[in-house]
Amino acid sequence: MKTRVASLLVAAIVAAAVAGCGGGVYIGFGGYDDVPSVSLAASATHAAPGQTLRLAAAASDDDYVVEVVFYRVESDGSLSFIGADGSASYGWDAVMPNAARGSTVFFAARATDSAGQRSDTATVAVIAD
């Protein structure tokens, strides 16, 4: 009988301890790190060649964003690196390249999180004046 009372007492103490710390038991399996979220905006929709425009990226992650890299998208689809920012608020002052009046220049950004995962923005269009 004393053993049963002792067992019930231990069970009650354990239950109280678990309830006091929020209850439940958490078993983590890891590996569920989300990719960063990133979007891009340009300070102007039209710019003359040589004009500086601000590229601003809104980037977030379930852990943290390490860096946002900014690119100009070339006519063949390749990316030309134009700069990187490792601290929020992520931005870069880009110079509008020499482009024919009325043509469109595209910019993009890529965010990298603390786990090395990357996400790209949709392109942002700026029309050459």
Tens digit of each residue's pLDDT (9 = 90 or more) over 84-122:
999 999 999 999 999 999 999 999 999 999 999 999 999
Domain with residue 124: its CATH number is 2.60.40.10
Indicate the pTM of the whole model. Answer: 0.75
> For residue 40, which of 105, 93, 128, 110 has the smallest C-alpha distance?
110
Task: Give the count of domains, the chain.
Answer: 1
Residue 22: Cβ within 10 Å count: 7
Q: Which two tokens stand for residue 91?
A: 């931005």
Q: Is position 97 within any domain?
A: yes
- The answer to whether 36 and 119 have CB atoms below 8 angstroms apart is yes
Q: Which of these ranges, 9-18, 61-70, 103-112, has the smallest mean pLDDT?
A: 9-18
Q: Is position 42 within any domain?
A: yes
Q: Is position 1 within any domain?
A: no
**Could you list the residue range(s) of the whole structural domain that residue 115 is in?**
37-128
Strand 90-95 vs strand 124-128: parallel, antiparallel, or unpaired?
unpaired
Q: Is position 57 within any domain?
A: yes
